[in-house]
């Protein structure tokens, strides 16, 4: 998405309360290391910060797996 199209709602938790949770995920040729444990920690951290997560742990895992697949196979699948 171009910067000019990026938008954040004024009601976003990060804007109204300065709350955020950030975690990195390691990818090892092309497996995501400890994804289930990472997602559990991410949801626990969000809950502890009072942030509702828009995706269930299963939905988040599906998104991360899809993004990894696209990243690893981009040359083969791009059109």
49-59 pLDDT, tens digit per residue, is: 888 888 888 88
Chain-wide mean pLDDT for the chain? Answer: 80
| Whole-angstrom distance, CA of residue 77 vs CA of residue 69 | 10
Q: Count of residues for the chain?
A: 79
Domain 10-77 CATH class label: alpha beta
The structural domains of the chain, with segments of one domain joined by +, span 10-77
pTM beyond cutoff 0.75: no
| Whole-angstrom distance, CA of residue 73 vs CA of residue 66 | 11
- pLDDT over 70 at 31, yes or no: no
């Amino acid at each position: 998405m171009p910067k000019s199209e990026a938008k954040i709602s004024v009601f976003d938790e990060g804007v109204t309360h300065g709350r955020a949770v950030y975690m990195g995920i390691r990818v090892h040729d092309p497996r995501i290391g400890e994804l289930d444990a990472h997602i559990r920690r991410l949801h626990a951290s969000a809950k502890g910060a009072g942030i509702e997560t828009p995706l269930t742990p299963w939905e988040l895992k599906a998104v991360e797996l899809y993004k990894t697949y696209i990243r690893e196979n981009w040359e083969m699948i791009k059109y």
